[in-house]
Amino acid sequence: MNTDFRQLLASDKRHIWHPYSAVGSDLPIYPVESAQGVRIRLADGRELIDGMSSWWCAIHGYNHPEMNAALAKQLNRMAHMMFGGLTHEPAVKLAEKLIEITPEPLQSVFFADSGSVSVEVAMKMAIQYWYASNRPHKQKFLTIRYGYHGDTFGAMSVTDPINGMHSLFADVLAQQYFVDAPTCRFGEACSNEDVAQLQHQLELHNDTIAAVIVEPIVQGAGGMRFYSADYLRRVSELCAEYNVLLILDEIATGFGRTGKLFACEHADISPDIMCIGKSLTGGYMTLAATLTTEDISRTISDGEPGVFMHGPTFMANPLACTAANTSIRLLLDSPWHATIARIEEHLLNGLQPCGELNNVKDVRVLGAIGVVEMHEPVDMKTIQPMFVDAGVWVRPFGRLVYLMPPYIINGAELDTLTAAVCEVLSAVDL
């Protein structure tokens, strides 16, 4: 590693917070020099096969020539333009495409800055909808445990307060309704008992509940749990029965990750409000969106105060919209169904041996998501360098060692990733 990077690392350690970390942390940090395809090149010359898609968003890998060209062209036109009173082609084209590919009732699009903000927007939409419908007391939210919806205050309030990462803020967050997460796994039927708690809460509190919010099929950072499509279908039916909106957080699951373009398609349902982000731009730019039905957008627009009360400075940034348009085109023009099925097969075969280890609780795979759940939290100081030494970038959290690789990854690279996971976990097996 050259001197410049050593100086950068020293400055980083003195001054910078990394996600869920401390200034001056002794956890290892690796300086990146460049990235190409599915490979991350470190400053010391080592190359790592990326198993994380930069937190699940770089579905086309890095330095993609068509993405680069589209952004360069847009950069020469305009990098940013305020969205108040103005519009531009990249935003209009993106809204049209999102309406086309998401479930049919979703007809209105609000562009946000990040996944967490899109959840905030969804929650505000739900509250403002009921306010405009002369039901101002419907301000609460109902969700399931082990969920994760972001790090801003509204999003934190619907993230699991016990098993999640936000217990420190419990006393200052809005108090929402929580029920146990479903135990019926993906591919299984759902019983009346599985939805009994949720139904009971809706019976008791439907006059104050604005919406149910859940991650469809896959609960992400709250536990990487895969649950029954039948359960999601029952949730949708109960929301309709008790006059409560359904918000689906597709930030992690959207754009093919679970084997469907959107995870709600596994249950053949449509939400009232949908949040998307992460892979929306192929990992190039931060951008998210909240989609809703014409009924909701019209009711809000026709009610008091006659506008939706949100408006980020960088809303519908032209560069980000261009990245999203290009990323979606690349995905839809590819044989993505077959690609996800191929990745799923490699993950299933490659990770299965981990199930024999003493410290492994469960191994599960769905689409381009592979999870090894441990009995105890991993020691990041020990395990992270072991993955790097094995030539892969895998970033565990808590008890979860998981893979969500870029879709362009080939079979040999996948096999290297899964073999590294098995070897590292074998080396630390109790």
What are the residue numbers of the active site?
A: 20, 148, 249, 278
Give the Cα separation of 139 and 323 in Å (integer). Answer: 35
Residue 160, CA distances (Å) to 143, 168, 178, 208 in order: 9, 12, 8, 20
Q: How far from chain centre, in Å, is Cα 101?
A: 18
Give the Cα separation of 387 and 407 in Å (integer). Answer: 21
Please state whether the peptide bond connecting residue 305 to the residue before it is cis, i.e. omega within 30 degrees of 0. yes
Tokens of 195: 């939805």
327: buried, middle or exposed (CB in 10 Å: 19+, 13-18, 0-12)?
buried
CA dihedral 397→401→406→407, nearest 10 degrees, is -140
The DSSP output letter for 37 is: B
Half-sphere exposure of 375 (CA within 13 A, CB side): 11
Give the Cα separation of 139 and 175 in Å (integer). Answer: 10
E strands, 26-147, where? 32-36, 39-42, 47-50, 106-112, 140-144
C-alpha angle with apex 367: 396 to 413, nearest 5 degrees? 65
Helix ranges, 315-390 (H)? 318-332, 336-351, 380-389
Contacts of residue 7, defined as CB under 8 A and 6 or more positions apart, other chains included, come to none
Residue 333, CA distances (Å) to 44, 275, 328, 385 in order: 37, 23, 8, 38
**Of 158, 391, 146, the residue nearest 275 (C-alpha):** 158
The DSSP output letter for 227 is: B
